[in-house]
Amino acid sequence: MKNRICRKFLASALALTLVGSMLAGCGNKPAENVNNTESSTTEANTSTEEANTAQTDNASDKEEPAAPEADTSAEEVTLKIATWDATTIATTAPLIEAFEAAHPNIKVELIDIASADYTQKLTVMLNGGNDLDVVWIKDADTTPSIAARGQLEDLTPYIERDGIDLDAYNGVASRLNIGGKQVALPISTGFYLLYYNKDIFDEANVPYPSNDMTWAEFEELAAKVTSGEGNDKKYGALLHTWQACVQNWGVQDGEHTILDTDYTFFKPYYEMALRMQDAGTIMDFSTLKTGNIHYSSPFQQGQVAMMPMGTWFMATMISKINAGECSVNWGIATLPHADNLEAGYTVGSTTPLGINANSSNKEAAWEFIKFACGEEGAKIYSENGDIPAMKDDSILAVIAGLDGMPEGAAEALVTKNIALDRPLDEKSAEVNQMLGEEHSLIMIGELSIDDGLAEMAERSKEIQGK
């Protein structure tokens, strides 16, 4: 009898502890949050106090007085930096290594996220109040919306304090000035080039593409170097399935953008793409799309003679060749251009680097940005075959002189104007998605060019409320 009561008591006690621990488990999070807000409010208090004392000195010193700098060099700080594909992007590891070597007191913890999920995960992390310090923004056009949520620290005081020259960024830095706040600095500015396979040109006895070529000349050249049948076929060119690989040539002049509501400026390029597709001088869109074929494989397997692609592909080519996985004898030329443009007009995109407004190590985070977007970072980027945002002739010379780079790269890399493929605007992503949908309909021949462009215009107006 007694035993039974005992057992029952035990059982209920067990159940209670179970429930209790579960509730405690659920309760943990809010408790932590309370702690966080407490610490951040105390921080805010001290910083306003500091600001008050500093106010008398100098306006630019308001945010961060000189004193904390001494602190950071003494204190051990761990920076949390969000980035994507850190293991495959050739520049990330050397950059972090060099930064840690230059700042022995700062350790970097990379939060490596798969590139396809990056933008989405970053948004979730920032919205969740994550304590990331430095954010790498993969799709530059998402910058305004992140900034609008107040999640990016205004870098202006830091820039003024440390005397950073924004002119060195070839005009890209000013695009990241949103509502009078410099919310990020560009670390790299990639742009489109024309990659070509020298062997195919040699075989066909055709001169290599020049650095000053119109799109019409590109089309002609592609026809000249197309040869073979079936599996041995060499295509004159490859236009990847991204809408960018047709539509970008329409915005190359820097005057039209994808946020326009009349897309007739795409028409010549769609006509060209469809003509080339019918003539069999480029690979068929449906085949590329349904086969989910990455642009790098046909080029690296020597199946295509020319491919307009971003500068980021140079680093991939160098590493593939050095690893012995690819034997293509490649070259680069300036992107072809429209009749009414000069050579050197190209399209590109920038990768901004910003400080999370929620960061507790802002001073150290700024050190990282200053390093990565500054001369040291530019050197590391160029040494690894990527184009830093801060570039001049000496940087281009470094890139061109890299082991594995083709001859004449320095001339091919000269740009006159880099138009951003997606304007930094909140509607860019949605319009771009729509353009991608319509693009595939035109390319598979479900819609005529005129109908497709008209539908783009109509949907663009709907999205932008124009």
Partner 1 sequence: MQAKSKKQISLSRRNTLVGISFILPNFIGFFIFVLIPVIFSLALSVTEWDGFNAMKFVGFDNFVAIFKDRVFKGSIGKTAYFSIFTVFFSMCASLGLAVLLNQKLKGKAIFRCAIFFPYVASNVAVAVVWNFLFRDIGPINNFLRSIGIANPPGWTASTDWVIPALIIVNIWKNMGYFMIVYLAALQDIPSSLYEAAQIDGANSLQRFKSITLPMLTPSTFFVVMMLTINSFKVFDLVYLMTEGGPGTASTMMSQYIYNQAFISWSYGRSSAAAMVLFLIVAALTAFQFRMEKKWVSYM
Classify burial at 418, counting beta carbons within 10 Å of its beta carbon; exposed 0-12, middle 13-18, buried 19 or more. Answer: buried
DSSP class of residue 173 equals G
The smaller minimum CB distance to partner 1, of residues 52 and 301, is found at: 301
C-alpha 305/C-alpha 201 separation (Å) is 7
Q: How far is the CB of 279 from partner 1 (least distance, A)?
A: 18
Which contacts (CB < 8 Å, 24+ apart) does range 322-327 have? 322/403, 322/404, 325/300, 326/300, 326/301, 327/302
**Measuring CA to CA, how many Å separate 249 from each of 199, 214, 383, 461?**
26, 11, 29, 22
Exposure string for 375-412, b = 16+ CB within 10 A, e = fewer: eebbbbbbbbbbbbbbbeeebbebbbeeeebbeebeeb
User: What is the size of the binding site for partner 1 (CB under 8 A)?
Assistant: 37
Judged by DSSP in three states, 152 sits in strand
The smaller minimum CB distance to partner 1, of residues 285 and 368, is found at: 285
If one asks whether residue 294 binds partner 1 (CB under 8 A), the answer comes out as no
If one asks whether residue 202 binds partner 1 (CB under 8 A), the answer comes out as no
Binding mask 268-287 for partner 1 (x = CB under 8 A): ----------------x-xx
The residue from 33, 290, 297, 394 that contacts partner 1 (CB under 8 A) is: 290
How many separate helices (H) and strands (E) can be counted in the chain? 19, 11
The residue among 302, 332, 447 whose CA lies nearest residue 396 is 332
Stretch of residues binding partner 1 (CB under 8 A), selected from 14-22, 268-276, 311-319, 332-340: 14-22
Binding mask 420-449 for partner 1 (x = CB under 8 A): ---------xx--x---xx-xx--x-xx--
If one asks whether residue 461 binds partner 1 (CB under 8 A), the answer comes out as no
The smaller minimum CB distance to partner 1, of residues 286 and 319, is found at: 286
If one asks whether residue 94 binds partner 1 (CB under 8 A), the answer comes out as no
Binding mask 338-377 for partner 1 (x = CB under 8 A): ----------------------------------------
C-alpha 234/C-alpha 283 separation (Å) is 10
The smaller minimum CB distance to partner 1, of residues 15 and 67, is found at: 15
If one asks whether residue 145 binds partner 1 (CB under 8 A), the answer comes out as yes
The residue from 10, 22, 67, 397 that contacts partner 1 (CB under 8 A) is: 22
If one asks whether residue 9 binds partner 1 (CB under 8 A), the answer comes out as yes
If one asks whether residue 27 binds partner 1 (CB under 8 A), the answer comes out as no
Tokens representing 53 are: 């004392």
Question: Contact at 8 Å (CB) between 271 and 264?
Answer: no
Q: How far is the CB of 126 from partner 1 (least distance, A)?
A: 7
Angle between helices 362-373 and 92-102 (to 10 degrees): 120
C-alpha 97/C-alpha 79 separation (Å) is 13
If one asks whether residue 151 binds partner 1 (CB under 8 A), the answer comes out as yes
**Per DSSP, what are the bridge partners of residue 77?**
106
Stretch of residues binding partner 1 (CB under 8 A), selected from 11-19, 36-44, 56-64, 246-254: 11-19
The smaller minimum CB distance to partner 1, of residues 9 and 466, is found at: 9
* Secondary structure string (H, E, C) spanning 55-118: HCCCHHHCCCCCHHHHHHHHCCEEEEEEEECCCCCCCHHHHHHHHHHHCCCEEEEEEEECHHHH
Report which secondary-structure segment, H or E, holds 181: strand 181-182
Q: Beta strand 330-334 with 185-197: parallel, antiparallel or unpaired?
A: antiparallel
C-alpha 403/C-alpha 360 separation (Å) is 41
The smaller minimum CB distance to partner 1, of residues 110 and 429, is found at: 429
If one asks whether residue 10 binds partner 1 (CB under 8 A), the answer comes out as no
The smaller minimum CB distance to partner 1, of residues 151 and 197, is found at: 151
Residues of span 103-142 touching partner 1 by CB under 8 A? 120, 123, 126-127, 142
If one asks whether residue 394 binds partner 1 (CB under 8 A), the answer comes out as no
Residue type, 410: A
The smaller minimum CB distance to partner 1, of residues 239 and 447, is found at: 447
C-alpha 64/C-alpha 345 separation (Å) is 40
The residue from 102, 148, 216, 279 that contacts partner 1 (CB under 8 A) is: 148
If one asks whether residue 5 binds partner 1 (CB under 8 A), the answer comes out as yes
Stretch of residues binding partner 1 (CB under 8 A), selected from 82-90, 203-211, 267-275, 289-297: 289-297
Q: How far is the CB of 141 from partner 1 (least distance, A)?
A: 11
Give the residues lining the site for partner 1 (CB under 8 A).
Answer: 5, 8-9, 15, 18-19, 22, 26, 120, 123, 126-127, 142, 145, 148-151, 284, 286-287, 289-292, 429-430, 433, 437-438, 440-441, 444, 446-447, 459, 462
